[in-house]
Amino acid sequence: MTLTRAEPTAEEGIKGASNFLRGDLSRELTDGPPKVSGESEHLLKFHGIYAQDNRDVRRERSLAGETLDYIFMIRVAIPGGRLSSAQWLALDEVGSDIADGTIRLTTRQAVQFHGVLKRGLRPLAFSLDEYLMTSFGACGDVVRNTVICPDLIMNSHDERLRAMASQISKTFKPKTMAHWEIFVNGELAAKREEEPEHEFYGQTYLPRKFKIAIAHPGENCVDVYAQDLGLIPARHEELGEGFTVVVGGGLGRSYADADTFARLADPLTFVTYDEVEGLIAAVLATYRDLGDRSRRKRARMKYVVADGGFASFRREVAQRYGAALREAVAIDLDDADDHLGWRTLDDGSFQVGIRVGAGRVRDVADGQRLRSALRLIAQQFDVTLLITAQQDILISGISGVDRDAIQNLLVTHHVRAIEELGLVERSALACPALPTCGQALAEAERRLPNIVEQVQGEMNNSGQGKRRLQLRMTGCPNGCARPAVAEVGIVGRTKTSYDLYLGGGLRGDRLATLYQEKLKLEEIPAVLRPLLDRWKVEGLLDESFGDFFNRVHVA
């Protein structure tokens, strides 16, 4: 049978027939082979779990006629990236016992564990639950981990804003008890009376994932325009404090589907605190109804906005919201703050932001022992840990008496201070790519240190070693490290080649343009060299590389 565009995808059928995300998961997780069926793979995503295989040994195993090295990735949703010392210790323990020994901080302030075996999934979910954490809803066709600028959590004087990411996560988490039944409490959970699922999810949930971020009103560390829905604190002349809401962003593209593209979110309206959740629910309902459920690659909300036009989308939202939408209050976001280094918070306590490097928390033999340092800090001090949308970690709420001890711990574990970092390294991001990501076309995280060193070398040679240059690298055009809005975006094209995007920027309000295709990684520094030289000579005072590139339209 040929699939016509109007027919729902197989994934829609799986969701609809799953009895609210249960399917056959219970049985498949209990026994059978080290992998799960295709249907269960899809449902597992809603529970925060991805079926993967170790791609480093895929070929050799296939050639030898052996089964693949099946592993799972679990993503823990951490609203706003905020963790207590006890929660960090629980994650640390899980990382050693059940996963591959690393803790991977993500570009959405979540945590991932790689290399988990099927039999480890339930114990892992159980441990998370003990410390009030969950992987449920971290993936799947639902509202994903809500991202917020850490400064709003630690420094905001408005309690509502401090708690906003957690509140949004709680409100929009699916209501089904499936996760607790299958992974945590078994029969106990099954006996509980289940609440009906949210009306905006229904039986088939959303057409695809939905991402929300809350930006600082002054700077864009969360890449708010890359989100399905962004909230930016603003003040309305008559109504007072609230948010400008932006909608319709998303960065993923596919080489196989020419009509996929990256898009930045547009301002939709202004809402007060009391109106935020109602407005989000109306946007979700619009997306639920109008999103394309016949093509997964074109099912994101940005295509509803782009295809039907923004005015039409706005009308649809207003209709479901039940009131006319106000004009958005104008906003003006500055360059992203990386939140690194020592700072004093408004309450007089201290915070230190640590560069993690592609988000991978681990101990390096004869090098930085970040994992041990964080473990000791969490054991000895009552602090708040915050994961940033730049894959870094902040140790926050440090009392004056503890400051020196924490600094000493960092030094003795060779954790590098920001003064020791090159400025390319300081803001570079990379997605995990190989060997775990099933969609990777090329390397990313594993090659990042090398390309960063080379590009930093070019910057130093052109006499601009002390200037900021934002470089982001991904193993495919899905864009998990957001290269589509970076000053320098390196995007995997084939196993050995990359497309080079230039001219995004630190404000995150401009898409980068494709500069050259199918470059070998080692060719990229030389391609950048003449541009960096021109930037030095022709750039205006304090003009960033991205701004310069766009102003002169370097051909």
* Paired strand residues for 310: none
SS3 49: strand
Q: Which residue has the tokens 């299958």?
A: 182
Which of ligand SRM, ligand SF4, none does residue 475 bind (CB under 5 to 8 Å by kind)?
ligand SF4
Between 13 and 186, whose beta carbon lies closer to ligand SRM? 13
**Residue 115 CB, nearest distance to ligand SRM (Å)?**
10
Interface with ligand SRM, residue 359, by CB under 6 A? yes
Does 359 engage in binding with ligand SF4 (CB under 6 A)? no
Considering beta carbons, is residue 431 or 511 the nearer one to ligand SF4? 431
440 binds ligand SF4 (CB under 6 A): yes
Find out whether 544 and 506 touch, Cβ atoms under 8 Å: yes
By the rule CB under 6 A, 207 interacts with ligand SRM:
no
476 contact choice in ligand SF4, ligand SRM, none (CB below 5 to 8 Å, kind-dependent): ligand SF4
442: which 2 tokens?
């090329």
Instruction: Give the strand pairing for 111-116 and 350-354.
Output: unpaired
- Window of 22-30, 185-193, 313-321, 433-441 that interacts with ligand SRM by CB under 6 A: 433-441
The nearer residue to ligand SF4, 328 or 437, going by C-beta atoms, is 437
Answer with the entry of ligand SRM, ligand SF4, none that 211 interacts with (C-beta below 5 to 8 A by kind). Answer: ligand SRM
End-to-end Cα spacing for the chain: 48
CB-based contacts of 25: which residues, under 8 Å, 6+ apart?
36, 40, 43, 44, 47, 178, 182
Closer to ligand SRM by Cβ: residue 154 or 389: 389
Considering only 156, 368, 470, 474, the residue that binds ligand SF4 (CB under 6 A) is 474
Integer-rounded Cα Rg, in Å, for the chain is 23
* Shortest reach from residue 492's CB to ligand SF4, in Å: 6
Binding of ligand SRM by 112 (CB under 6 A): yes
The angle at the Cα of 393, spanning 95 to 145, to the nearest 5 degrees, equals 75
291 forms part of the interface with ligand SRM (CB under 6 A)? no
Q: Considering only residues 9, 18, 106, 169, which one is a binding residue for ligand SRM as defined by CB under 6 A?
A: 106
Q: How far is the CB of 210 from ligand SF4 (least distance, A)?
A: 17
CA distances from 279 to 317, 373, 384, 388 (A): 8, 42, 31, 26
The closest alpha carbon to 132, from 98, 155, 166, 102, belongs to 166
Under the binding rule (CB under 6 A), the answer on residue 37 touching ligand SRM is: no
Token readout for 456 is 């930093």
Is residue 112 a contact point for ligand SF4 (CB under 6 A)?
no
Measured CA to CA, the distance from residue 53 to residue 147 in angstroms comes to 29
38 binds ligand SRM (CB under 6 A): no
Choose the contact partner of 436 out of ligand SRM, ligand SF4, none; CB within 5 to 8 A by kind: ligand SRM
Name the H helices within 432-485.
448-461
* Nearest CB to ligand SRM, comparing residues 226 and 410: 226
Cβ neighbours, 10 Å, residue 551? 13
- Residue 58 or 192 with smaller CB distance to ligand SRM: 58
Contact 388, 221 (CB under 8 A): yes
Residue 300 near which of ligand SF4, ligand SRM, none (CB within 5-8 Å, type-dependent): ligand SRM
- Pick the closer one to ligand SRM by CB: 79 or 539: 79
Q: Does residue 120 contact residue 96 with C-beta atoms inside 8 Å?
A: no
Q: Does 444 bind ligand SF4 (CB under 6 A)?
A: yes
- For residue 424, what are the CA distances in angstroms to 150, 173, 360, 456? 22, 37, 17, 6
Report how far residue 526's alpha carbon sits from residue 351's, in angstroms, rounded to the nearest whole number.
Answer: 39
- Cis peptide bond prior to 449, omega within 30° of 0: no
User: Which residues contribute to the site for ligand SRM (CB under 6 A)?
Assistant: 50, 73, 75, 106-108, 110, 112, 144-145, 211, 223, 226, 250-252, 297, 300, 359, 391, 431-432, 436-439, 478-482
- List residues binding ligand SF4 (CB under 6 A): 431-433, 437, 439-440, 444, 474-476, 478-480
